[in-house]
C-alpha cells in the first residue's frame, strides 16, 4: 500500500518497499497488522520519520496480462504520515499463485488499476503517528489477513445505529457499503458519513442497477448485511451478500416483510437472523452487558465513536420533537431535556 485514502486495512499490496497502514487500536492491530515480536525480537530500528524517503520502489501493473510483461518496477510517491498511520518497510514478500492470477485478471477479486502486486509478507515498522500506541519503530509485523479486506453492507446508514456501525467497523478495520435513500442533500450526507469512516455511500436506486456487479471487482462482497428497513431494500442487501453470508434484521421501518428468494437461500447458503436488544440482554449476564458498554465507552474515549447529531428540545415542546422524529431524510436525533 502506498497511499492513504479509502484503502483497506489489510495490506493488499505487498510488493512495495514501504507501506502506509493504520493502527488506531489493538483491535485494528489484530485485524490489520500482527506483531511478529513473539517469533522475532527485532533490534532497534535505524529508521526515523525524518529520515524516511518521499519515494519508494514498488512492483506496479497498470493492466492485466502476462505478469512478466505488465509488471514494472517503479518509483512511487509516499503519502504524508498522519497521526493514526503506521509506515512499514517491507522486508520480504512471496509470490503466490493467487498473486499471479490477480495480475492476469483471472482472480475472483481484483484491485483497481494501477495496483501494487502481492498479498503477503513481513515488514518492519519505521515510523508511527502520534496517536499510535500498539506499535513502535523496529517492530516486525505481518498482515493479519490477505486480500482486499472484509466488508459490511447496511441500509438506513444515516440513522443513529447506521452511523455507529460505520465508526465501529472502521475501528475494526472493516470496509462498509452504506445504503441511503436518495435526497436533495445527498452530497452533504455522503461527506458526513465518509467523515465518520464510511468507504462507500450509495443510494437504494444505485443498489438495484445492473452496474453494481462491477462494484465488487474493487472490493469483496460483504459477508454481513444489517437491515432495519425490510421490503425491497432488504432483498437487495441479500442479493449482494457473499456466499454463506448472513443478514441480521433489527428493524422494519418500511413496514414490509423481508423477502428472500429460494435460489439465494439454497445456492448461496445465505442465512437470515433477527436481533432484539431486549432479548439479547435477557440472554446475557449483567457482567456481559457491562463489558459491552465499556467496550463502546473505550471507543468513545479514543475518539473512534461519537454520537449522531442531536437537537435538544425542552420537555414541554415534546410535540415538536415527535414531529421532527417522523419527518423523512432527518438524521438528527431529538433529545428531550428535562
CB 236 within 8 A of CB 204: yes
The one catalytic residue in 47, 61, 107, 318 is 107
CB 150 within 8 A of CB 107: no
CB 232 within 8 A of CB 255: no
Stated as kind and residue range, the H or E segment containing 175 is strand 175-180
Percentages helix, strand, coil for the chain, rounded to the nearest 5?
30, 25, 45
CB 203 within 8 A of CB 173: no
Dump the DSSP string for 240-256. Answer: TSPTT-EEEE---TT-B
Q: How far is CA 27 from the centre of its chain?
A: 13
The verdict on whether 107 is a catalytic residue reads: yes
- What would the grid cell of residue 319 be? 410535540
The alpha carbon dihedral of 115, 120, 121, 124 has a sign of: positive
Active site amino acids:
107
Amino acid at each position: 500500500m502506498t497511499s492513504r485514502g479509502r484503502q483497506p486495512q489489510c495490506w493488499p499490496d505487498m510488493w512495495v518497499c514501504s507501506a502506509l497502514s493504520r493502527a488506531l487500536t489493538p483491535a485494528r492491530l489484530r485485524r490489520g497488522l500482527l506483531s511478529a515480536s513473539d517469533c522475532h525480537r527485532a533490534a532497534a530500528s535505524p529508521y526515523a520519520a525524518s529520515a524516511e524517503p518521499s519515494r519508494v520502489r514498488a512492483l506496479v501493473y497498470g493492466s492485466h496480462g502476462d505478469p512478466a510483461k505488465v509488471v514494472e518496477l517503479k518509483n512511487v510517491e509516499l503519502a504524508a504520515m498522519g497521526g493514526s498511520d503506521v509506515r512499514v518497510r517491507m522486508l520480504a514478500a512471496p509470490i503466490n499463485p493467487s498473486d499471479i492470477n490477480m495480475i492476469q485478471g483471472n482472480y475472483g477479486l481484483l484491485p483497481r488499476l494501477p495496483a501494487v502486486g502481492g498479498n503477503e509478507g513481513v515488514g518492519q515498522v519505521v515510523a508511527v503517528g502520534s496517536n499510535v500506541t500498539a506499535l513502535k519503530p523496529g517492530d516486525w509485523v505481518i498482515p493479519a489477513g490477505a486480500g482486499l479486506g472484509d466488508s459490511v453492507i447496511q441500509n438506513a446508514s444515516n440513522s443513529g445505529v447506521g452511523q455507529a456501525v460505520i465508526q465501529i467497523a472502521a475501528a475494526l478495520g472493516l470496509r462498509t457499503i452504506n445504503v441511503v435513500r436518495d435526497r436533495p442533500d445527498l452530497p452533504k450526507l455522503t461527506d458526513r458519513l465518509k467523515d465518520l469512516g464510511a468507504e462507500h455511500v450509495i443510494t437504494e436506486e444505485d443498489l438495484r442497477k445492473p452496474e453494481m456487479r462491477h462494484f465488487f471487482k474493487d472490493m469483496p462482497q460483504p459477508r454481513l448485511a444489517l437491515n432495519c428497513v425490510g421490503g425491497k431494500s432488504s432483498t437487495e442487501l441479500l442479493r449482494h451478500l457473499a456466499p454463506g453470508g448472513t443478514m441480521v434484521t433489527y428493524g422494519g421501518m418500511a413496514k414490509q416483510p423481508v423477502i428472500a428468494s429460494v435460489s439465494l437461500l439454497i445456492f448461496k447458503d445465505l442465512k437470515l437472523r433477527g436481533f432484539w436488544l431486549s432479548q439479547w440482554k435477557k440472554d446475557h449476564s449483567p457482567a456481559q452487558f457491562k463489558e459491552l458498554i465499556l467496550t463502546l465507552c473505550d471507543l468513545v474515549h479514543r475518539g473512534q465513536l461519537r454520537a449522531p447529531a442531536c437537537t435538544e428540545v425542552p420537555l414541554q415542546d415534546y410535540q415538536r420533537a415527535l414531529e421532527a422524529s417522523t419527518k423523512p431524510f432527518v438524521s438528527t436525533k431529538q433529545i428531550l431535556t428535562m
